Amino acid sequence: MKLKVQTLDAKANGDIDLNDDVFGIEPRADILHRVVTWQREKARGTARATRERSDVARTGKKFGNQKGGGTARHGNRRAPNFIGGGKAHGARLRDFNPSLNKKIRALGLKMALSSKAKAGTLFVLEDLNLKDAKTQALQGQIGKLGLGRKVLVIDGEGVNDNFRKASANLVGVNVLPAVGANVYDILNADSLVLTRAAVEKLEARFNG
């Protein structure tokens, strides 16, 4: 698959051949759904368990006499009705750590990339080099490229420092290095922008 390469100023800068094994496969909703569900489930924080009766360190010695004290016949300070006692019916520890095969995860990422290519919302830029970290200037350049409201920009080894600083205040612009490419963020964006370096990194990631 051939795609036009542009500069940040929306000027043509040649073509790039995209690997059909990565950018040209048919997306399947069931695979994408599995990967996104796995990804969001992994992001959930594990709730801390409350200490119940068996977890609290308090005496189990009977206090007071059996009769004549005028109070109930308690025998354990760990009971929930005492201050410092265990919590009754407290929150239990739940581990949100589902598993998903690596092959399914890799296939999901390929399908997410392919879905953007198929929809015509995949853009390739030469690089993200900016002379100055100016937000207003970058906003104008993004407007010229016609990328939409929510944009995911993926660079190669690391994101250009000036571009990262300039885009930090732009609502809807998310910037990642190639190693951070993931299905959820790709599908959630209106447009996916890759640099030449990002394309090379992603293709190398799947081709070993």
Judge whether residue 208 has pLDDT over 60. no
pLDDT tens digits, one per residue of 102-153: 999 999 999 999 999 999 999 999 888 888 888 998 888 888 888 888 999 9
Domain count, the chain: 2
102 contacts 110 by C-beta, under 8 angstroms: no
Percent of the chain residues topping a pLDDT of 70: 100
In a shared domain, residues 132 and 161: yes
In a shared domain, residues 173 and 82: no
pLDDT tens digits, one per residue of 150-190: 999 999 888 888 989 999 989 999 999 999 999 999 999 99
In a shared domain, residues 118 and 183: yes
Could you list the residue range(s) of the whole structural domain that residue 70 is in? 47-94
In a shared domain, residues 55 and 106: no
Give the predicted TM-score (pTM) of the model.
0.78
In a shared domain, residues 23 and 36: yes
In a shared domain, residues 155 and 196: yes
Judge whether residue 198 has pLDDT over 90. yes
